[in-house]
């Protein structure tokens, strides 16, 4: 077992952080983005056929999945009745 945080492979140079980098890694950068935009990640499970139809529809319309699902939740599921 290697005690170093990142093992090095022969012939592969490790990626070095820029000295002016704001975030420790990509996960920290994504977390900062979500905090700034007041977003929460939500995972859903769909049947494969439905997911493929949704992806095809979104591609044909040129829309984004998150925006479309958020709009549908607001206008269809949580609408005032």
* Predicted local distance difference test score (pLDDT) of residue 66: 94
Q: What gap in Å lies between CA 45 and CA 18, rounded to an integer?
A: 37
Give the tens place of pLDDT for each residue, 34-76.
999 999 999 999 999 999 999 999 999 999 999 999 999 999 9
Query: For residue 18, what are its two tokens?
Result: 């820029």
69 within 8 A of 62, measured Cβ to Cβ: no
Where in the chain are the domains?
43-81
pTM for the predicted model, two decimal places: 0.62
* Predicted local distance difference test score (pLDDT) of residue 25: 86
Higher pLDDT, 61 or 4: 61
User: Per-residue pLDDT for 22 more than 60?
Assistant: yes
pLDDT band at 6 (very low <50, low <70, confident <90, very high): low
């Amino acid at each position: 077992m290697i005690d170093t945080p990142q093992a090095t492979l022969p012939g592969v140079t490790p990626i070095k952080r820029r000295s002016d980098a704001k975030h420790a890694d990509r996960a920290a950068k994504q977390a900062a983005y979500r905090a700034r935009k007041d977003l929460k990640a939500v995972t859903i499970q769909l049947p494969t056929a439905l997911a493929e139809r949704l992806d095809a529809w979104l591609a044909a319309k040129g829309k984004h999945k998150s925006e479309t699902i958020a709009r549908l939740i607001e206008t269809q599921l949580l609408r005032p009745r």
